[in-house]
Copies of this chain bind each other. A is one copy, B any other.
Amino acid sequence: MSDSRPLPLGEIPRWDAEHEVVVVGQGVAGGAAAIEAARAGADTVVLERMTRGGGATSLSTGITYFGAGTEIQRACGFEDSVEDMEDFVALAAGEQADPERIRLYCEGSLDHFQWFRDLGVEYKATFIEEKTTHPFTDDCLTYSGNEEAWPHSARARPVPRGHKPAREGEAGGYLMEAVLRGTLEAGASVVNECRAERLVVDGTRVVGVAARREREPFLVKASRGVVLATGGFVFNDEMLAKHAPHLIQCNYKVGTAGDDGSGINMGVAAGGEAINMSEGLVLNAYYPPASHLKGVLVDGQGQRFVNEDSYLGRTSDAILTKADGCAYLVVDDEIHGRTQAFHKLAAVEGSFEELEKALDLPTGSLVRTMTYYNEGAARGEDPLFHKAAKYLKPLVEPPFGALDCSTDASFFGVFTLGGLSVRATGEVLDAGGEPVPGLFAAGRCTAGLCREGRSYASGLSIGDGSFFGRLAGRAAARSEPWS
């Protein structure tokens, strides 16, 4: 691993560039921070490791979590309020979430949405009826988490809040184009192919960044502050093993190669604390097609363990923790379709008895699970997990298939949800809760809005990064200058 220890000011020969605010990383968090720092009047530069900014957001659907009654929500016939949004976001953010962050996020949501529109991001006033993880059209509004799924549905009034930009396919690139354009328009400068390696400190105060630009040292002074927006650490296997070992079994890392924990390590080495490091979002998508939500997910004991209509962050976490990584989605001929993740059919048989045997499940286990499930579904009930009535139907049309949702047989995406401890306004904190002078952070290199994958909703990472990136940029810009 590269050396993340801060470089004392006395050890650097010169500054190659001098700015007030230096933002490290140009994903959505760094982009938002740079825009707001520059708009606040600070001389701002972004150091981006890649040839072009974009980060993990540019690889995503671009869905962002907005609510409290956006114009899109209203046009589609959904009422929402700050309070309703806060009820749900508190569930989604998890038990250890920061109430201050949740409050700020929901109270500021309409403004947050407008911020993106002002950058030129377009959204259509259309609702996506079918439950999906990846809407392929240019339609906008979607239930992007557990809003309609038990037990969340019983605890907060279900409202769709995922907003996809008006572009077909993956729209994250389109969204980031607007952010990159906005960064330059706001007056910030951008240095690409520039890898931040260490922070420069004067005593305990962070005063700059020691980077490498086309392999040459590049020392950048940050008289007001450095904003780390470097992403998570899912691409760093050593860090995963140390902090989130259960995520190692996931076979597809979601993000960019930049998500290697470099910013977290630099921040910790400068005195910051990393928290919530064991948490991550795990993604095994057995839908679309939405008909698969009518399937029955069983573990290696042939038992159910979660309602199949939950957001995939919850079902995937359950596959890992409750089912020990071994799970099958049982479907019948009527609901079977090809999944986006191309799950393999582990077996197709004419009866549950035969399917049970083919999957090597304990004798009688799957049969009794399916008998019980079908009896309930015929009554429109799921006594065990309260799956929504619209996804309940007895599976009675042979042949019966089992899609293999096991960690060793199907696609398990993962990214991390732990990182630097920061105030909602972006100041990086040490273990005693004191700010590290001159250091700010936002996005996936922080422990942010959502603290656990099992309650997550799509759009919370872009939402978190952009919302709190803006605050971090402003906080850095108004920070007392070092001299």
Binding site for B on A (CB under 8 A): 1-5, 95-96, 241-245, 265, 268-269, 271, 273, 275-278, 301-305, 321-322, 362-365, 368, 372, 375, 383-385, 421, 430-433, 451
- Report the minimum CB–CB distance from A224 to chain B (whole Å): 24
Q: Is the CB of B278 within 8 A of A278?
A: yes
CB distance from A265 to the nearest CB of B (A): 6
A384 touching B365 by the CB < 8 A rule?
A: yes
| B372 adjacent to A368 (CB under 8 Å) | yes
Residue of B nearest to A303 (CB): B303
Stoichiometry, as copies per complex, reads: 2
Docked-complex contact B432 and A301, CB < 8 angstroms: no
Least CB distance from A250 to B in Å reads 14
Q: Are B385 and A275 in contact (CB under 8 A)?
A: no
Given A362-B384, A383-B362, residue A96 in contact with residue B1 (CB < 8 A): no
Given contacts A1-B433, A277-B278, 19 further A-B contacts (CB under 8 A): A1-B431, A4-B432, A95-B245, A242-B276, A243-B275, A243-B276, A243-B277, A244-B278, A245-B451, A268-B431, A269-B431, A278-B278, A301-B384, A303-B304, A303-B384, A362-B384, A364-B383, A365-B383, A365-B384
B residues near A433, Cβ cutoff 8 Å: 1
Q: For the complex, give the distance between the alpha carbons of A451 and B269 in Å.
A: 24
Taking CB as reference atom, which chain B residue is nearest A362?
B383
Q: Mind listing 25 A-B residue pairs with CB under 8 Å?
A: A1-B433, A2-B432, A3-B432, A4-B431, A5-B432, A95-B245, A96-B241, A242-B276, A242-B421, A243-B276, A243-B278, A244-B278, A245-B276, A269-B431, A277-B277, A301-B304, A301-B384, A305-B322, A321-B321, A321-B322, A362-B383, A362-B384, A364-B372, A364-B383, A365-B372
Q: Which residues of B contact A278 (CB under 8 A)?
A: 243-244, 277-278
B-chain residues with CB within 8 Å of residue A3 when the two chains form the complex: 432
Chain B contacts for A4, CB-based, 8 A: 431-432
In the complex, which residues of chain B have a beta carbon less than 8 angstroms from the beta carbon of A421? 242
Chain B CB within 10 A, most for which of A4, A244, A430, A431 = A431
**Residues in B neighbouring A5, C-beta threshold 8 A:** 271, 430, 432
Beta-carbon contact of A96 and B276 below 8 Å: no
Q: Which residues of B contact A304 (CB under 8 A)?
A: 301, 303
When A and B form their complex, which 9 residue pairs have the shortest distance between CB atoms, in order from nearest? A278-B278, A362-B383, A242-B275, A96-B245, A301-B384, A322-B322, A321-B321, A1-B432, A303-B303
The minimal Cβ–Cβ distance linking A95 to chain B, given in whole angstroms, is 6
Contact partners of A432 in chain B: CB under 8 A: 1-5
CB distance from A238 to the nearest CB of B (A): 9
Q: In this complex, what residue of B is CB-closest to A322? A: B322
For A386, give the chain B residue with the smallest CB separation.
B362
Residue of B nearest to A364 (CB): B372
Q: Name A96's closest neighbour in chain B (CB-CB).
A: B245
Q: What residues of chain B lie closer than 8 Å to A362, measured between beta carbons?
A: 383-384
